[in-house]
Amino acid sequence: MKAKDSLAGRIGKRIKEIRSQLGLTLKQLSEASELTPGTLSKIENGLVKPSITTLEMLANILKVDAGYFFIEEDAKRYFISRQGNRKVSYSERGSKENITYEVESLTEGMENPLMETVIVTVLSRKNEDIDEIVHGGQELLYIIEGELELTLGEKKFILKKGDSAYLNSDIPHKAISLSKKSARVLNVLLVPGSRTKIFEAMD
């Protein structure tokens, strides 16, 4: 049986691909799933077709939807984001429940994105209108236009067009716009070992 021509091969390839992306060894996945390394190796090489129960367990560990294992070779392997066709949401993250951020997703439609990438328009202009946030992972902010004040813990930084900040996201952080025109920021977030939904949680 040629693994690449079989459903079992397709499933195995997807499992191995995600495991590698997450930096997990067969032994580590074995310990998390209670499947032996030998069994996992056979699954990844398309020699064994796992049960639905096993796939659901592996999907939960690898932080993907079980359906991802069945995707055809070229389906959802890449995603082109077109200006004007992106999902836009709004965050009301503040004690006064004001709309604080406009969030434009650049990864909506990509299967199993490891990074969450958005363009954030910072609408808040007063520190008291917005609460700090703390979450896992790391993130990169790059100022596309405008000027903002970035609060990191007890420190504040003024960032202008072309400036950037890279931070561990467990530092309490928030940003307000200082320019006449609302600041726009490219924000890339990565939480190792999980699918990122931080910006959705902010809605």
Match domain 88-201 to its CATH number in 2.60.120.10, 1.20.1370.20, 3.30.9.10, 2.60.40.10.
2.60.120.10
Contact 55, 66 (CB under 8 A): yes
d(CA 176, CA 131): 11
Give 23's contacts (C-beta < 8 A, 6+ positions apart). 192
- Has domain 3-70 been given CATH number 1.10.260.40? yes
CA-closest candidate to residue 114, choices 90, 79, 143, 87: 79
Residue owning tokens 């932080």: 63
| Residue 102 identity (one-letter amino acid) | E
Domain coordinates in residue numbering, the chain? 3-70, 88-201
pLDDT tens digits in sequence order for the chain, 203 residues long: 344 447 888 899 889 988 988 889 999 999 999 899 999 999 999 999 999 999 999 988 988 878 778 776 655 567 777 787 788 888 766 555 667 888 898 887 776 677 889 999 998 888 777 888 898 889 999 999 999 999 999 999 999 999 999 999 999 999 999 998 999 999 999 876 555 555 554 54
pLDDT of residue 82: 79
Angle formed at CA 88 by CA 188 and CA 80, multiple of 5 degrees: 65
